[in-house]
C-alpha cells in the first residue's frame, strides 16, 4: 500500500514538472494525471494541491464537478449510459437500471473484479439510436434489458475464449 502511494506520488510529480504553478493549469493537469493513472487517488490530489498552492478541497471540488474525472479506478470495460433528452424519453433510465442490476454496482462505480465501470453521459450525438449505451467507445443502439444481457454475455464468451487460447 505504501509502495503504491509512493508510486502515485512519483507519477503525479513527473507530470506536474511539465507545468507552471498557476491555478489555471489545474484542469490540464487533472486531465494529464487521469490519463496516466486512470483516476484520482488521494495522494495524487494532494500532490496537485501542494504544487499549485491551493487548499486540497479545491482540487477535490473540481474533480467532483466534472463528469470526466473519476475517483474510483476504471474497469477494463467502460459502460456509459446516455441520459440525454432523447435517450431519457426512450427509456434511458430503464437501461441504466438494467446495467446497475446486472453489474450489481451504482453509477460511478466499478465492479469488484474490475471488469466494468458504469457512468452516465448526457447525449453522445446519435439520438436516433436511443436509448444509447456506449460500451468501450462503441455506441450500442436501442438498449433494452435483454440487450444488456446480450452484451454482457458476449464479453463473457470472449473472456472464456481468451482463457482457452492462453492455456
Partner 1 sequence: MKTISLTIDGKKVTASEGEKVLWAALDNGIYIPNLCALRDASESPAACCLCFVEVEGKSQPVTACTERVEQGMVVNTRSPGALRLARTALELLLASNVVDCAHCPANGSCELQKIAHHLGVKLKTRRFRKLLRELPVDSSSPVFIYDPNKCVLCGRCVWVCRERLGIGVLGFAHRGFERLVTTFADEPIAESRCRECGECVVACPTGALTFKEQ
Which residues make Cβ contacts (< 8 Å) with residue 85, sequence separation at least 6? 123, 127
Q: Is 85 in the site for ligand FES (CB under 6 A)?
A: yes
Least distance to partner 1 from the beta carbon of 71, Å? 8
Which residue lies nearer to partner 1 by CB, 73 or 150? 73
Judged by beta carbon, residue 44 or residue 118, the one nearer ligand FES is 118
The CA–CA distances, whole Å, from 99 to 64, 74, 126, 145 equal 23, 16, 20, 8
Instruction: Verify binding: residue 82, ligand FES, rule CB under 6 A.
Output: yes
For residues 41 and 63, give the distance between their C-alpha atoms in angstroms, rounded to a whole number: 11
- All three cell numbers of 95, joined, read 437501461
Which H/E stretch holds residue 134?
Answer: strand 133-135
How many CB atoms within 10 Å of residue 16? 20
# of chain residues touching ligand FES (CB under 6 A): 12
Which one of 12, 30, 79, 84 is in contact with ligand FES (CB under 6 A)? 84
Q: Which of residues 62-91 bind partner 1 (CB under 8 A)?
A: 64-65
Q: Indicate the residue among 54 and 126 with the shorter CB distance to ligand FES.
A: 126
* Contact call for residue 57 and partner 1 (CB under 8 A): yes
- The site for partner 1, by CB under 8 A, has a size of 13
Distance in angstroms (rounded) separating the CA atoms of residues 158 and 160: 5
Binding site for partner 1 (CB under 8 A): 42, 45-46, 54-61, 64-65
Amino acid at each position: 500500500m505504501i509502495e503504491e502511494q509512493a508510486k502515485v506520488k512519483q507519477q503525479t510529480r513527473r507530470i506536474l514538472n511539465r507545468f507552471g504553478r498557476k491555478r489555471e493549469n489545474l484542469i490540464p493537469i487533472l486531465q494529464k494525471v487521469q490519463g496516466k493513472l486512470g483516476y484520482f487517488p488521494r495522494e495524487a490530489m494532494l500532490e496537485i494541491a501542494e504544487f499549485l498552492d491551493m487548499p486540497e478541497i479545491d482540487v477535490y471540488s473540481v474533480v467532483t464537478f466534472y463528469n470526466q474525472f473519476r475517483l474510483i479506478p476504471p474497469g477494463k470495460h467502460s459502460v456509459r449510459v446516455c441520459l440525454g433528452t432523447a435517450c431519457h424519453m426512450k427509456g434511458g433510465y430503464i437501461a441504466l437500471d438494467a446495467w446497475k442490476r446486472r453489474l450489481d454496482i451504482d453509477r460511478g462505480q466499478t465492479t469488484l473484479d474490475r471488469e466494468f465501470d458504469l457512468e452516465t453521459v448526457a447525449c453522445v450525438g446519435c439520438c436516433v439510436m436511443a436509448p444509447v449505451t456506449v460500451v468501450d467507445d462503441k455506441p450500442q443502439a436501442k438498449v433494452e434489458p435483454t440487450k444488456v444481457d446480450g452484451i454482457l454475455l458476449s464479453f463473457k464468451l470472449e473472456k472464456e475464449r481468451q482463457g482457452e487460447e492462453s492455456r
